[in-house]
Structure 1
Amino acid sequence: MIRKSFFVSLCIIWFSSDTFVYTDEVMSVTEGESVTLNTDIKLSGQIEEIVWTHKINNLDNIIAEIKGKNINIYPNVVYGDRLQMDNHTGSLTIRNITTEHSGLYKLLIRNDRALSQKTFTVTVYAHLPFPVISRNCSLSSSSSSERSSVSRLSVLCSVLNVSAVSLSWYKGNSVLSNISVSNLSISLSLPLEVEYQDNNTYSCVVNNPITNRTTHLNTSQTCQERSEPLQNSHLVGITVSVILVLVVSSAVLIYFHQRKCKSAN
């Protein structure tokens, strides 16, 4: 289990020290990476104690500490065997980090009569999926005054089970439309309609504060791919019709031939 504290009493003792130094650091990482929270010190005989805590459910839980020459890493269901402490610096490494390891970490160092604290606000982002573009080519009249028709392409860009991301359609480097979601894990979709064989470059991008994934749209290839099955279906229909005509014609000829033979007899 996570060790809950004697942390409050620890602070009461340490705040009676002569010196207090406070620093803060913000870190953003991707799930699966290894992250090191650095103490920026070298351990010596003057350092009496180092304590690492992680705030879970509004409680500062002690996850690792050094007392004198003893290093203690407290096993728990949240971290498993992911935690590792550097015995020369006291820095804490979290291997194969996951989103549940996001949050506030505190480092407390007691050195003779001085106390220093360093906090790390760690945000862990899940791996982003590539956007999926579904397509539908259709013919529609360009205007009431024109007799010709313009082939248009309706597309839908989607990502599943994402949080803290934005989904955007780009035309070149310009944003056409976008939609965002905060920490709630949901699926996002964003429609777009363009003309068939439009020479502009269109792309759908999903991004969070540290990375992005892009899927490009090829309007020409998309419509050609969809037109081939249509052409093939027309050919199949024509072939079936011809065969039916031949079969019916043959049956009629055979019928009249048999009647003629019976009449001659």
Structure 2
Amino acid sequence: MTTAASTIRQLPAPPGRLTRPALFLDMDGVLAPLAETPDAVVPDARRTAVLRALAQRLNGRLAIISGRTLAEIDRIAESAAASASGVHGLERRRADGSLDRAAADPAVRDAVAAFQDFARTRPGIIVEDKAVSASLHYRQAQGEAEAVGALAERLADETGLTLQPGNLVVELKTPGTDKGTALAAFMAEAPFKGAMPVMLGDDLTDEDGFRAAEALGGFGVLVGPPRATAARHGLPDVDAVLAWLDAVEETP
């Protein structure tokens, strides 16, 4: 009997030759290993070199789409990607350098304050204020998972903010965008327009990107352990991602 889990485990690696691809890459868990704290992820010479070479090979059809802010994306990737989207689509920089930034929902300030109150008496809990969203990281306090989830759900109900669960993090964000809307916006513009979108992600937040890529004639690539996913291909870890990005070629 074939189970869902066994089907997911058998996801094939993405092909090494693609017809006019446009690559959309998550940061944490895809381009960079997951770390205990957000600021523990630092630039890496290999990653930067791979991204710069890839952007050149694909004539700029490369974008990083992350839950991190644009400033954090640029810090970690050393500005190797001209096109980037931060905070699940709430910030987006086009290839020409122009920016789209959503106005922050005022309720984000309430979420930040509530998260800070929660973290004050719980060692290992980290609050991240992204202006348009608030994140509560509990990687170093996994015993608080139930309390973190309950708090986030209550605040989402009270404020109308969008609850975005992630890998040992919850985020309350200004409504209106996700990684899928960011990918679709890029695909409507040069240099991505008319290309085949390929989204690489590891987290539940990347499923919107996988679905958007599929809808636009491309596919998703799940990085990491098997799970239910809209992705059609898989890679085991960050090293495999970088090796594939370094080798992938555009067919004539």
TM-score using structure 1 length: 0.20
Greater strand content: 1
The higher-RCO structure (CA 8 Å, 6+ apart) is: 2
TM-score using structure 2 length: 0.21
Instruction: Choose 1 or 2 for highest CA Rg.
Output: 1
